[in-house]
Chain A
Amino acid sequence: MGNLESTLGLIIVLVTVALILVLSLKSWRAKHPPVFRSIPAIQRLRRALGLSVEEGTGIHISIGKASLLQPSSTSAFVRLATLHRLAQMSATSDQPPVSTSGDGSLAVLSQDVLIAAARESNTLQMYQSDHGQLSGVTPLSFVAGALNVVNDPRIKANILIGNFGPEAGYLSTASEQNDAFTLAASDSLSAQAVFYATASEPLIGEELYAVPGYLQYSPAHQSSLQTQDILRWVLAAAMIGGAILKMVGVI
């Protein structure tokens, strides 16, 4: 990286830190409460969770196969936050949520998250070793293992959120065939296209990162969504400005 790129990168990170901290402040949030556009899929997810708790059916959350060592690891943290929030929201259900993943470290973290959520809701005695499982270590073995959970007749909601390849189409298709609620989101373009064709509630693009914020996980999640919006406007303005300057021959 050149000096200019390094400096620019550092400035962007520092601006993001400052924005998230300022927008998380209680006083700021009281004056400017965050307002987000509605995402119908997430509203229906809340409804599906409520139904699952009422009926005592299970929820399966598949958090994908991205390793924490890959650049796509940030989506792994979003998935863990989502898993924690969903586990909190379904704490009163007779069936604790089950999580599947395709990476060892992610599987260990998902168990930690599920145990924490069970401890918070005093349901630790319901937690079992297969609630946070590594279903396979290669993309297709992961999907084959997760299919076993998707096809469990007790599971009535499948939330596929994370880094998947096109093979995740098997999971969404099986879920739809079982008449289960299917919300699917990925940071991979090929998986997004597959989910759009095969899942009833697909999320596109950065909507994946919005899930914890929309489920009101914490003020920091909501402020980071606002920060993303601000940065998006800045980026759009910079791109349009750059195109105009290029057209008139300034750069």
Chain B
Amino acid sequence: MKSPVAAFVAFFIGAIVLAGYFIPASPLQSIRSSILDWTVVLAGVAGLVAILNLVFGVHIKRIREKAPRTGFSWAVIITFFIVFIAGVIFGPTHPSIQKVVTYVQFPVEASLMAMLAITLAYASLRLLQRQRNWMGIVFFVSTLFFLVVNSGVFSFSSDVPLLRTLVSAAHQLPVGGARGILLGIALGSLATGVRILIGADRPYNN
């Protein structure tokens, strides 16, 4: 059974935070800020719970069940415990811990991002195979068009008034499109927020 108490607490807290956003009364602001501080602490605890589940509930379980490719699970578990223990002993701002981030995590992530460029270039080449419709063609042509426009090929256009206007107009097109999409997303966010506030959606109360 879904608890009406949880729904009421969620509605009450949500209404206070929302009211604190619109009404500039100082008591409301301080309550809102305290609630948001609690949320940050709770989210931190939830993060720790989820990480422990990743280590014990996912990777140790994989090793115990002798799943294929358990080497990755061993790597996750050993690395987690080394970094966790070192983090607890030295603190997250210690230079040695920072070195792990600077010399291990950043380079690995940077190389993954570099590989992503190649993956996406290959995917773009296959775009017309996958999206064989007029939207796919428009997407492909506009990708090429804006690649050319933003590459600086038209840098001489500042001397030609008509071309300068056309290039400037071309630069505005993606901004307009992005705003249209973002307005739709904003309306979706508003409706979702309201649905949760009035208790029609209860992800916290299953």
The number of chain A residues with a CB under 8 A from chain B is 80
Stretch in B86-94, B151-159, B165-173, B193-201 with 4+ CB within 8 Å of A: B193-201
Q: Is B95 an interface residue (CB 8 A)?
A: no
Asked if A24 lies at the interface with its beta carbon under 8 angstroms from chain B, I say: yes
List 6 interface pairs A-B (beta carbons < 8 Å), by A numbering: A104-B47, A109-B203, A111-B53, A129-B57, A224-B191, A225-B191
Which B residues, 177 to 194, have Cβ-Cβ distances below 8 Å to chain A? 178, 180-185, 187-194
Asked whether, in the complex, the Cβ of B194 is within 8 Å of the Cβ of A17, the reply is yes
Please report B residues at the A interface, Cβ cutoff 8 Å: 18, 21-24, 39-40, 42-44, 46-51, 53-54, 56-58, 61-62, 72, 105, 108-109, 112-113, 116, 119-120, 123-124, 127, 130-131, 139, 178, 180-185, 187-198, 200-201, 203-204, 206
Chain A residues near B194 (CB, 8 Å)?
A: 13, 16-17, 20, 224
Point out which of B40, B109, B188 has the most chain A C-beta atoms below 10 A from its C-beta: B188
Q: Could you tell me if A6 and B123 are in contact, using CB atoms closer than 8 angstroms? A: no
The CA of A13 and the CA of B18, in the complex, are separated in Å by 10
Nearest A residue to B120, CB-CB? A169
The interface centre, meaning the residue of B109, B195, B198, B204 with most chain A CB atoms within 10 A of its CB, is B195
- Name A187's contact: one of B124, B185, B195 (CB within 8 Å): B185
Within 8 Å of chain B (Cβ to Cβ): is A105?
yes
Does the CB pair A74–B53 fall under 8 Å? Answer: no
Contact check, B58 vs A129: say whether CB atoms are below 8 A apart. Answer: yes
Q: A74-B188, A77-B195 are in contact. List 16 more A-B contacts (CB 8 A).
A: A16-B191, A69-B43, A72-B189, A74-B196, A104-B44, A128-B61, A138-B109, A170-B112, A196-B131, A196-B139, A197-B123, A205-B180, A205-B181, A206-B187, A208-B185, A231-B191
A218 contacts the other chain (CB 8 A): yes
> Per a CB cutoff under 8 Å, which of A20, A135, A138, A187 touches B200?
A20
CA A79 to CA B190, docked complex, whole Å: 15
Indicate if the CB atoms of B188 and A105 lie closer than 8 Å: no
Given contacts A129-B53, A166-B120, contact A220 B188 (CB under 8 A): no
